[in-house]
Structure 1
Amino acid sequence: MRQKRLFTMLVTKFCRLVPVVMSLLVAMPVAAQDDDAVSFDQDIRPLLSDRCYSCHGPDSNSREADLRLDLEEPAHESAIVPGSTEDSEFWARIISDDEGDQMPPPHAHKPPFTEAELDLFKRWIEQGAKYERFWAFEKPQPAPVPKDVDAQWQNNPVDAFVASALKESDKHPQPEADFRKLVRRSSLDIIGLPPTPEQIAEQLRLEEEIGREAAWETWIDQLLESPRYGEHMARYWLDLVRFADTNGMHKDFYRNHFAYRDWVIRSFNENLGYDEFLTAQLAGDLLDKPTKDQLTASAFNRLHLIIDVGTALPEESHHKNVVDRVTAVSTAFLGLTMQCAQCHDHKYDPITQKDFYSMYAFFNNFDVKPETPGWPENGLQKPYISLASPEQKSTLEKFDREIQSAQTKINELVAEIAKVDAQTASGAKPVALKAKSKDLKAEKRNREAQLKKLKAKRKRFDRNVPYALVAKEREQLRKTYLLDRGEYDKPSDEVPRDTPGFLPPLNSRTSNPSRLDLAEWLVAEDHPLTSRVAVNRIWQSLMGAGLVRSTEDFGAQGTPPSHPELLDFLADDFRRNGWDTKRLVKLIVTSKTYRQSSVADELAYREDPGNRDLARASRHRLDAEVIRDQLLFVSGEMCDEMYGPSVKPPQPDGLWKSVTMIGERYKADQGDATKRRSIYTYWKRGMPPPQMTILNAPTRDACVARRERTNTPSQALLLLNEQAYFEAAGKFARRVLQKPEDERIAFAWESVTGKLPDENEVAVMEKLLDDLSQTYSSEPELAKQIEAASDDVESNVELAAWTVVANTLFNMDITKNRD
C-alpha cells in the first residue's frame, strides 16, 4: 500500500508535463446569413422535426388539429401562406406570447424558437416557403467535382468539395500537419496501433527519397495490407451489430459466437465488397450452395439478446427477438429508427406501422427456439455448423469410434449380465453364475468409468473446435400480423413481406420475397440509403465524426449532412467501384482534408467547435480498445495471435459475482492470452470488461453506431492505477533500459508519442528521473517491490524509476487523444 501511495503521489506530482485538454461543446448548426437563400433541408426541417412533428407530423394517431407540417401541400393549405408572414397562422403561433396560442405549447416541454430561428422562418416564408423532398430518401445525385479551388486541392475529390465549401464561407483550411504526426494519426485510425520508431524513421527516409506524396501513399498501402487493419475495422462493426459472448438478460449464458467475429475480421482484411458483406450476413444461408463463410456470416441474424426458458412467455420472447433483428437491420444498413414504428406510425419519418411489420415479416420465420433452454452445451444453440479443421474432424471421428466401441461393449455386457441373472433365477448353478455376474458387473462399471473419461476428453477437445450459429428458415411459413399498439398478443391485419413505401420498390423472385431479395434491394443502384450510411460510418471512423453526425439516424431527427454534395459523391463512387472499402479509406486518408493540422486559432474553435466545416483536423478522444492496445504494443507485451475463442484478462474480483444468477465467477486467463488485442476480450453483457466501459465502450445490449466520448476522473484513475497498465509500464521500462543511457529518453518519448522530445521535455524527464532515483535510493524496499526486481539495489532503483516514468508517459494526453 505504501508503494502504491508513493507511485500515485509521484505520478500526480510530475504529471504536470501532461497538457490539459478542455473538451468542446458541439454547436448547433449556424443559421443561414441574411443574404442567403434559406434551405428547407438544412435550416427549416431540423427545427420543425424537433419542435413540431410530434404533433403535426407523419403519425396520424398523434396528429393534432389535423395539421401536417412535414408535407408542403397540407402545410400551405392550413397554416403557411408562401410569401406572407402576416397571413400565415404558423408564423402568428410561433411568435405569440399567449400560452393558449403559442407554438410549441408550454405543455410540450419544448423550448420556444430563438430570435435566430424565428428569423430563419421569416425569411423562408418570405422566400416562398418551398419544401424539398427529404435528401436521405432520394438517390444520391453526385455533383461535378468543383474546379474553382486552389490547384493543390484539386487532385482529390474530397479536397475539391471541402475547399469549395470553405471558399463559399470565406474560410481557409489549415496547413498540413507535421509528417511524424500524420504517420501516428493514420496508424491509429487505420490499424488502431501506434507506429514504431523504426517505422517512423523509414517513412521519414522515404519522404526524403521519393517525396511526401509518394511516401504517404506507400505508408497508407502498408497499413491497409496489415492484418491489424481488419482487427481494428471489425471493432466498429461489432459495436454496430451488438456482438457479445453472452445472451444478455437474467442468466446471461455463454453463447459461442467467436466464429462470426473472426469472419468479420477476415472480411475486412480480404476487402470483401460491402455488397457481399451485407448479403452474406442478411441472407448467407439462402445463397445457392452457401459456403461455410456465408453460413457463418448469417449469424448476424442471431446476435440479439435472448432470454431464458421460463422467464417470459415464448410468444413474447419471439416477438422481442424479431423486433431486435429489424432494429439491427434498420440501424446497420438503413441508418433509420424503424423500431419507433412498432406501436404506431413513426412521429418524424414516413415509416408507417405497416412498414415496420412488413420488414418484421422477413425475420419472423427462423427455425430457432426463442429462448435459451438451460445452460447451452459449449454455448451452442441450434441451428449451428461445425468449422472443424480436417485434423480436428479426424480426431473427433476417432473419439466417436472409440466411444461407440466402448458403448457397444457395455451394451453386450448388460445383455450378458441379464442372461446370467435369468439363469441364476432359474436355479442353474447359482454359485458359479453369481460369481460370473459379479465379475461382469465389475467389468461393466470399469468400462462405464472409462467411457465417462473418454466422453469428458472429447468434450474438452470439442471446446477448442470452432462452431458457428447460423440462420435457417422454417419449412412452413409463419404468418405476420400488424400488432395493435405493438403488443405481441394483439394481432390484427395480416402483413406480407415488403419494404417501406417511401423507398424504392422491392423486386422479388417469387410471390413471397426472401431475405435474399431484401439484401439485393439494399444494394440496388437506386437505393438512397445503403451506400450513404456505409460511407458515413467509414468517414466517422477516420475523421472523428460523420458528414452526417447522427450516424445512427438519417431521418428527420438526425442532423443534415455538413457537406451533402461530398456525401453523395462518395456514396455513388463507393457503389460504382465495387463497394471497395479499402479504396474508400485510401481516398479519404490521402486527402489534404485528412492531413490538415488540428491546430487553429481561438476564433476558429469558437465559430466551429464541432469542426463541421472541416477547416482543420478533428482532435478527439481515442476509444478504449485503442488506448489499451497501444500500451500493450509500446511495452512489447502484445500477443499477435489472431482469431479463436474470446479471452479473459484480469479484472477486479467479485464483479461477476455481483450480477450472476447462476453462480458464475470470473476466472482470468493466464500467460499470453491476457495480452491479446482488445477485440478478442470476452464480452459479458451483464458485466462487460470494466477496462473498456469506463472508457465509454458500450455494453452491446443494443446497436451502437457511434460511441460517447467523455473525459472523467475515473478514466484517469483507471489508466494510472490499473494493475495490467502498471505492469505494461514495467515491461516498457525494461525495454528502455536495454538502450544506451544517452538514447533512453528519446526512445521512450518517441515510442509513446511518435515525436522526438524538445529541450524542455528532455529537461523535465531528466528531473523526474533524478527525483525518482533519489526517492528509491533512500527507500530501497519500495524499489524491490517492482515486478521482477533483482537482488541488486542499484538496478532495482533504476527499474523502479523508469517504471514510474513510463507510467507517467502512458498517462500523457497524447496516449488518450487522436491529434
Structure 2
Amino acid sequence: MLYFVILCIVGIIALYVLMPSSSGVDYSSEVKPLLNKKCIACHGGVKKSGGISFLFRDEMITEGESGHIAVVPGKPGKSEVIRRITHQDPEVRMPPDGDPLTPEEIDILTRWIEGGAQWGEHWAYESIEKPELPPYPVSAGNTESNTDQWGHNGIDQFVISRLVQEGLYPNESADCASLIRRLSLDLIGLPPAPDLVDQYCANPGEEQYQAVIDTLLNDPAFGEHWASHWLDLARYADTKGFERDAHREIWHYRDWLIRAFNQDMHYDQFTVEQLAGDLLPNPTADQYTATAFHRNSMSNDEGGTDNEEYRVQAIIDRVNTTWGVWLGTTMNCVQCHSHPYDPIRHEDFYTSYAFFNNSRDEDTHHDSPRFRYYQGPDSLQLDSIRNFIRELPGIDEAQRERTEASIVQLLHTTEPKVHPHYFEFLENSAHGDTKTLVMYPEGLVKLPNFLIGQDSLLLISFGGVPDGGTLTIRRDKRDGPLVSEIALSKEYRGRQVFFPVKPQPHAADLYFSYTPAPDQGGNLSIGWMVFYQPPYDNFSDLQPSLTDILNTRGVKSVPVMMEGEGKYQRTTRVFERGNWLVHGDTVQPDVPGVFAESADEPMQDRLDLAQWIVSPQNPLTARVTVNRFWEQLFGRGIVETSEDFGSQGSVPSHPKLLDYLAYEFMHTQQWSVKALLRQIASSATYRQASDVSSSKLEKDPYNILLSRGPRVRLSAEQVRDQTLAVSGLLSKKMYGPPVMPPQPDGIWSVVYNGAQWVPSTGEDRYRRAVYTYWRRTSPYPSMVSFDAPSREFCVVRRIRTNTPLQALVALNDPVFLEAAQAMARSGSQTSDSVDENIQTIFQKAIFRVPTGSELQQLEQVYEDALADYQDDQQAARDLLTPQDQLLFNSVPQETPPPDCAEKDCAELAAMTVVANVILNLDAFITKE
C-alpha cells in the first residue's frame, strides 16, 4: 500500500512538471525542433527563400522579399508565417513540400509568437548548475531488485526516479563473475585475471568491489584501452592517406596518449596539451608530442599536387575535428554556408579556421615540423650545449633563457622552414616531384617578397650537391645587391649546413642563382632552408656543435604543431561558398557568436581556444565528454548522438543526470577521467544484471531508461585482445613502433611507395590491437569487419553492425585459430576427461560454467570433429600447424607441424574446433 501511494505521488508530481504551461511554450524542446523539421530546409543556413531565415531571430523578424514580416512578436495575426501555414490554398500554404502542419503544431507556433517569440537557448549551450538530487522514491523491498546498493550514488537517484515514473524497476545486481568481467572489459579492455574474479566472488562486498576498481584503474592496460577509443577521435594512422598513403612515423603520439590516460592527466590539461602544447611556456618534449593530435590530418605528397590546397584541407579537418571531439558540434556544415539547423554563421567557420591557419605544417613529404628526440650521446651533446649557454658571459638571465629556448627549438624542430614550393622557378630549375628545389647549371629561382629581417644565418638542407660551383643570393633582381655567396662542396651532400647572410630590414624578392664550377656540371638539390637570427654575439663558437647534432642520423621524431610568428603569420579570409580559391572578408580568431558570452577575453591563438574549451564558462565540453565516457560503458550515450549536441541531435534521455555528471566532472572531480569512471562504475545502475523481461523489452527495448545493465558487442580491438588474453597468447609489451600481425596476402595493395606488410615475429604478433599498424587505405581487415573506421577523418561514434563477415573472421582469422589451438592444448593438459576439458576452456573464456544444454552441444561438436579428423589425419595436422604459415605462407614457420601420434592429433584438433566455437559464442564477443 505504501509503495502504491508513493508511486501515485511521484506520478502526479511528474505529470505536473511535464505539463506544458498554458501561457507559453518552450523554445528549445518545442519550437526549435518544429522549425527544424518544417521550415529550416527552405529558410535556414543553406537557403533563405524569400529572404527569411528561422535560424537567427533578427532575420526572422525583419521584412522579407514579399514585404511581409515572417514573425511579429506578440502578434500572430500579423505574422506571415501563421498566415502561410494556415492558408487553404495548397499553392500558398507552407511548407510547399510534405504534409501541412498539424493543429497541435500550429498551436505551438501561435502561442509562441503570442508570448513574444522568445528566442530560447539550445539546452546544450545553457550554463551548468549543479542539479539537486531527486529524492530516493523507493525503499528496500519495494522493487524487484536488491536495493542495498541503491541510493548511495547520485547517478542512481536520477535513474531510479525516472524508472518509477515509467512504472519500471531496476534489475538485481549481476552475478559476481559477470560483473567483474564487465568491469574489466570496460576499464582495461581485457577480461579479468581469474584470481581477481575468485577473490571478489569469495567475498563480494562494497569494499572489495571498490578494491577491484582500484586494481583496474591502476593497471597499465587501462591506458592502452582508452587510447584505443581516443585514436578514432584523433584519426590516428601510421600513414598519410590519399592514394599513395605513405608511411608516417607518429607512434610517439600514441604512446603519449597511453601514458596520459594511465597517469590520469586531467582532461583540461589533456585538452590544452593536444591543441596547443607548443604554445605553453617552455614546452616540454611531451607537450610538443601531444600536439601530434592535429598532425594526424592527411597530407598528399604525390607528384603534381598543390601543397596549399592540401594544407587548406588539413586546416579544415582540424576545425571540424576540434568542434566535433570537444564540443559535439557539426562545424563541417558551416564551411560553405551557415549551419542548416544551429545558429552558427558561415563566417564563424573561418574565425575558427584562423586559430589553426598559422601552423607551420604545409603538406610537405617530410611532414615538417617534426620534433626530434635526442638519445644517448646526442642527448649528452644537447646537455653540453645547454651548459655552454648557461655559462655565457655578459648576458642577463632573461636573455639566457631566450637564448636557450631559441637554440633548443632550432635543434628539436629546425623551424621556421622555407620550403621549395615558396619559390618561383625562373630558369633551368624545377620543383622536383613536389618535394625538392632542383637547380640545373645556370639555374635561377626567386623567393618572392620575403623578409629576412635581422636573420644573419641561413641553414640549408642539401640533397645532391656538385663538387664545386656557387649558389648566389641577391636582392630585388638577379644582379641586385648581394645577400650571400655560398661556395658549394660535395661535403654538403645530404647534410644541413649554416651560411652567413646579410640582414635585410625590408621585404624583397630574393634571387638564387647556381653557377657550376668551370668544366663541371651537376645539379643542386635543396630540401628546405631556415633563416635564423643568432640569439647572442659570437654565435660562431656554437655553430660546429649545432651542425653536428643536426646531422645526427636515425633520430626518432614525431610531427608536431608549431605556430608561425612575425613574417610567417598568415591572413585568414572567408572562403566564398567554401571555395579555397575565392576569398572574401578578412577575419580574426574567435568562437561563433552563439558562444560569445562564454568567451570573456579576445582570443589570439590555439592556446586561447583550448583554454576556452575547458573553461567553466563553456558548458558544452563537460556535457560532451561525460556523455562519451558514459557511452563507452553503457553502449549508448545519455545523448545518443554523441557526435551531435546541436538541435538536430538526440535530446538527453536523462537531462539532469547529464548536467549532474558534467558538473561533478568539472568541479568536484577536477576533470579527472578516472574519478568519473569510478563514479559511473560504482553506481548500482551500472551493476545491474543485463537480463531483460518481456515487460521491459516492451517498455524500454533499447535500455534508454537504464532498467537493466549494459549488454553490447565488444569493440574490434576488444574482440582481438580478449581472444589473445583468454588463450594465454597476449603479449604485455607496451609502447614502441607499430606491429604487423599476420593478414592475408594481397590485402595491402600499395601504389607508388613500395611498402610491404611484413608480419611481425615473436611476441610482437600477439600484442594488443592498439599497436597494430594502421594504413588508412587498407586497415587491418579483421578489425574493419568489426566496425573499426579507416581513420581518414575523425569518427566520434562507431556504429555497431552485425554481418556474416564478422562470423567468418572469428572462425577463420589466424588470431582466432591460434588462440583456439592454445586453448585446446592448455585444456587438454587439465584432465583426461573431454567434458572437463570443455568446461575448463568454456570457463576460461566466458567466466562461468556452461549450462547442460551448452555442454551437450559442445560435446557433440567434439565428437563430430573427432570422427572427421580420425578419417583425415592430414587435416588434423593442417589445423594444428601455425596458421600464417599454412594459410598465407607469409612468414618463416616458427613452430614445426605437430609431432604427435595419430590419435593425439585427432583429439587435439577436435578440441581446437571446440575452442574455436567457444570463441565465437555471442556470450564471448559480448559484454553482459
**TM-score bucket (shorter structure):** 0.7 to 0.9
Q: 1:147 to 1:124 in 2, by over 3 A?
A: farther
1:602-613 aligned within 5 A: 602-613=694-705
Counterpart of 1:568 in structure 2 is 659
TM-score by length of 2: 0.71
> Whole-Å Cα distance in 1 between the matches of residues 292 and 165 of structure 2?
48
> Whole-Å Cα distance in 2 between the matches of residues 746 and 645 of structure 1?
39
Counterpart of 1:635 in structure 2 is 727
1:641-660 aligned within 5 A: 641-657=733-749, 659-660=750-751
Give, as a single letter, the amino acid of the residue that structure 1 aligns with 2:705.
D
> Whole-Å Cα distance in 2 between the matches of residues 113 and 186 of structure 1?
50
1:385 counterpart = 2:371: yes
Q: Is the 1:736–1:748 contact (alpha carbons within 8 Å) kept by the matching residues of 2?
A: yes
Q: Is the 1:784–1:793 contact (alpha carbons within 8 Å) kept by the matching residues of 2?
A: no
Counterpart of 1:748 in structure 2 is 841
1:184 counterpart = 2:275: no
CA drift of 1:689 comes to 0.9
Q: Is the 2:55–2:343 contact (alpha carbons within 8 Å) kept by the matching residues of 1?
A: no
Q: 1:578 to 1:774 in 2, by over 3 A?
A: same
Counterpart of 2:42 in structure 1 is 55
1:100 is aligned, of 71, 91, 96, to: 91
2:315 is aligned, of 290, 314, 322, to: 322
1:398-797 aligned within 5 A: 466-475=556-565, 476=567, 477-505=569-597, 513-576=604-667, 577-657=669-749, 659-742=750-833, 743-785=836-878, 786-787=880-881, 788-797=897-906
Query: 1:161-204: CA deviations, max 9, x gaps?
Result: 11122223333222222222111111111111112433221210
CA drift of 1:763 comes to 2.5
Counterpart of 1:145 in structure 2 is 133
1:260 is aligned, of 253, 261, 274, to: 253
1:349 is aligned, of 324, 328, 342, to: 342
1:810 is aligned, of 919, 924, 927, to: 919
TM-score by length of 1: 0.81
Structure that is richer in helix per residue: 1
Q: Is the 2:598–2:618 contact (alpha carbons within 8 Å) kept by the matching residues of 1?
A: no
Counterpart of 1:14 in structure 2 is none
> Whole-Å Cα distance in 1 between the matches of residues 87 and 849 of structure 2?
62
Give, as a single letter, the amino acid of the residue that structure 1 aligns with 2:50.
A
Q: Is the 2:176–2:197 contact (alpha carbons within 8 Å) kept by the matching residues of 1?
A: no
Give, as a single letter, the amino acid of the residue that structure 2 aligns with 1:798.
E
Q: 1:243 to 1:462 in 2, by over 3 A?
A: farther
Point out the more displaced range, 764-773 or 327-336.
764-773
> Whole-Å Cα distance in 1 between the matches of residues 755 and 874 of structure 2?
39
Query: 1:697-723: CA deviations, max 9, x gaps?
Result: 000011111101100011111111123
> Whole-Å Cα distance in 1 between the matches of residues 77 and 600 of structure 2?
52
Provide structure 2 residue ranges, at least 5 long, that are not aligned to the other structure: 1-14, 63-68, 140-146, 384-466, 469-488, 491-548, 882-896
Query: 1:395-438: CA deviations, max 9, x gaps?
Result: 999xxxxxxxxxxxx99xx99xxxxxxxxxxxxxxxxxxxxxxx
Query: 1:484-516: CA deviations, max 9, x gaps?
Result: 11211221211111111111457688x771211
Structure that is richer in strand per residue: 2
Q: 1:755 to 1:193 in 2, by over 3 A?
A: same
Point out the more displaced range, 34-43 or 627-636.
34-43
Q: Is the 2:603–2:609 contact (alpha carbons within 8 Å) kept by the matching residues of 1?
A: no
CA drift of 1:601 comes to 2.5
> Whole-Å Cα distance in 2 between the matches of residues 80 and 259 of structure 1?
56
Q: 1:54 to 1:758 in 2, by over 3 A?
A: same
> Whole-Å Cα distance in 2 between the matches of residues 43 and 747 of structure 1?
57
> Whole-Å Cα distance in 2 between the matches of residues 482 and 327 of structure 1?
16
Secondary structure at the counterpart of residue 482 of structure 1: strand
Point out the more displaced range, 606-615 or 174-183.
606-615
CA drift of 1:47 comes to 4.1
Give, as a single letter, the amino acid of the residue that structure 1 aligns with 2:766.
K
CA drift of 1:745 comes to 2.5
Secondary structure at the counterpart of residue 749 of structure 1: helix
Query: 1:54-98: CA deviations, max 9, x gaps?
Result: 3223x2x62223444446787689567999999987577668896
CA drift of 1:752 comes to 1.2
Secondary structure at the counterpart of residue 687 of structure 2: coil
CA drift of 1:811 comes to 0.8
1:134 counterpart = 2:122: yes
Q: Is the 1:499–1:506 contact (alpha carbons within 8 Å) kept by the matching residues of 2?
A: no
Point out the more displaced range, 749-758 or 304-313.
304-313
Give, as a single letter, the amino acid of the residue that structure 1 aligns with 2:677.
V
Pairwise CA RMSD: 3.3
Point out the more displaced range, 127-136 or 663-672.
127-136
1:285 is aligned, of 255, 273, 278, to: 278
Give, as a single letter, the amino acid of the residue that structure 1 aligns with 2:161.
S
CA drift of 1:672 comes to 1.5
Counterpart of 1:232 in structure 2 is 225
Give, as a single letter, the amino acid of the residue that structure 2 aligns with 1:283.
A
1:371 is aligned, of 334, 345, 363, to: 363
Q: 1:741 to 1:33 in 2, by over 3 A?
A: farther
Q: Is the 1:173–1:596 contact (alpha carbons within 8 Å) kept by the matching residues of 2?
A: yes
Query: 1:294-346: CA deviations, max 9, x gaps?
Result: 11001122110111154432222221111111111111111111121122211
Secondary structure at the counterpart of residue 250 of structure 1: coil
Higher relative CO (CA 8 A, sep ≥ 6), structure 1 or 2? 1
Give, as a single letter, the amino acid of the residue that structure 2 aligns with 1:285.
D
Q: Is the 2:136–2:161 contact (alpha carbons within 8 Å) kept by the matching residues of 1?
A: yes
1:174 counterpart = 2:266: no
> Whole-Å Cα distance in 1 between the matches of residues 705 and 724 of structure 2?
36
CA drift of 1:817 comes to 1.9
Give, as a single letter, the amino acid of the residue that structure 2 aligns with 1:812.
L
> Whole-Å Cα distance in 1 between the matches of residues 789 and 700 of structure 2?
28
Q: Is the 1:483–1:492 contact (alpha carbons within 8 Å) kept by the matching residues of 2?
A: yes
1:250 counterpart = 2:243: yes
> Whole-Å Cα distance in 2 between the matches of residues 367 and 69 of structure 1?
40
Counterpart of 2:521 in structure 1 is none
Identity %: 38
> Whole-Å Cα distance in 1 between the matches of residues 303 and 611 of structure 2?
38
Query: 1:572-591: CA deviations, max 9, x gaps?
Result: 11111210100000101111
Query: 1:581-638: CA deviations, max 9, x gaps?
Result: 0000010111111112222223432333332222222322221111111111111111
Query: 1:721-765: CA deviations, max 9, x gaps?
Result: 123321211111111112123542222111111211222322223
Point out the more displaced range, 239-248 or 293-302.
293-302
> Whole-Å Cα distance in 1 between the matches of residues 611 and 290 of structure 2?
16
> Whole-Å Cα distance in 1 between the matches of residues 382 and 822 of structure 2?
41
> Whole-Å Cα distance in 1 between the matches of residues 706 and 88 of structure 2?
39
> Whole-Å Cα distance in 2 between the matches of residues 130 and 605 of structure 1?
40
Q: How many pairs were matched up?
A: 711
CA drift of 1:684 comes to 0.6
Q: Is the 2:42–2:48 contact (alpha carbons within 8 Å) kept by the matching residues of 1?
A: yes
Q: Is the 1:649–1:668 contact (alpha carbons within 8 Å) kept by the matching residues of 2?
A: yes
Give, as a single letter, the amino acid of the residue that structure 1 aligns with 2:135.
K
CA drift of 1:33 comes to 12
> Whole-Å Cα distance in 1 between the matches of residues 118 and 598 of structure 2?
31
